[in-house]
Structure 1
């Protein structure tokens, strides 16, 4: 039973990925590169799930969610994050997410969480602001200090 579900889910993700990549070919200029790469990545991962399920020798029933409380906590924090992106700015909200989510899920090593959050933010800045040159929601903290970025 689980094997069929994994195969169906993998094929569904692969189909969505291929559809997204195909739709991105219609975008003008370089604007389709990012969605195309994401679509192809989704298709690749969906294909990997399908292949793994087909090759699996065991077909055991497993729980849909191992830790429902943590799933609900993560969904609530993700919803708060989405609500905070516009008023606080993408970088500020993302940094707070990277600190709040591990703490809410039980990770208690604050120094490591801070280091991961800082590295994550540096990577996000490099990808979106430097590499892709994509405008992101205005940072509330910067506008408070008058720099306006």
Structure 2
């Protein structure tokens, strides 16, 4: 049994799973803070996006660690609760990456935002379309307007000779 030197009472009675979750959360916090700190050296607005991602990673790491500390011990949990959903999500990610260049970032992202919830069992198409449109709008504002970063060209612009 591993005993954490800084907090022996907490770690001595914890299950291995809780220890792993706390350690993983701490790693995410450290990586997120390191990424955010590294982004401060970027010139101009180029560091805003990686800084926000680093801070979000740190926040989610804190959430994982805090949840593990508060969890009741003694109950085992499966490694994966929904392996089919995991495989579906991984395949959707692979298709997304494969479609970004031929279709364009916004089209591939919108298709992912529509297809993945449907593949995972969410059947409220109007909500899915609204969330997808809002997401694409936010991505457009952040990348194309605020950061002025080029994304892969949309297929319909090339097909119809626009711009």
Normalising by structure 1, report the TM-score: 0.89
Note the residue ranges of structure 2 that are not aligned, 5 or more in a row: 1-15
User: Do the aligned partners of 1:2 and 1:60 also contact (CA within 8 Å) in 2?
Assistant: no
Aligned pair count reads 148
Residue 27 of structure 1 is matched in structure 2 by 42
User: Do the aligned partners of 1:3 and 1:59 also contact (CA within 8 Å) in 2?
Assistant: no
Which residue of the other structure, out of 54, 68, 71, is the alignment partner of 2:83? 68
Which residue of the other structure, out of 11, 18, 26, is the alignment partner of 1:3? 18
Distance 1:119 1:25, change over 3 A: closer
Cα separation, 2, equivalents of 1:52 and 1:112: 29
Residue 114 of structure 1 is matched in structure 2 by 129
Structure number, greater radius of gyration: 2
Using CA pairs below 8 Å that are at least 6 residues apart, which structure has the higher relative contact order? 1
What's the CA shift for 1:132? Answer: 2.5
Distance 1:104 1:55, change over 3 A: closer
What's the CA shift for 1:22? Answer: 2.4
Residue 41 of structure 1 is matched in structure 2 by 56
Cα separation, 1, equivalents of 2:131 and 2:69: 36
Residue 142 of structure 2 is matched in structure 1 by 127
- Which 10-residue stretch deviates more, 118-127 or 78-87? 118-127
* Deviation string, structure 1 residues 55-80 (Cα, Å, up to 9, x no partner): 33434211121110111011001101
What's the CA shift for 1:118? Answer: 1.8
Cα separation, 2, equivalents of 1:18 and 1:128: 23
Residue 81 of structure 1 is matched in structure 2 by 96
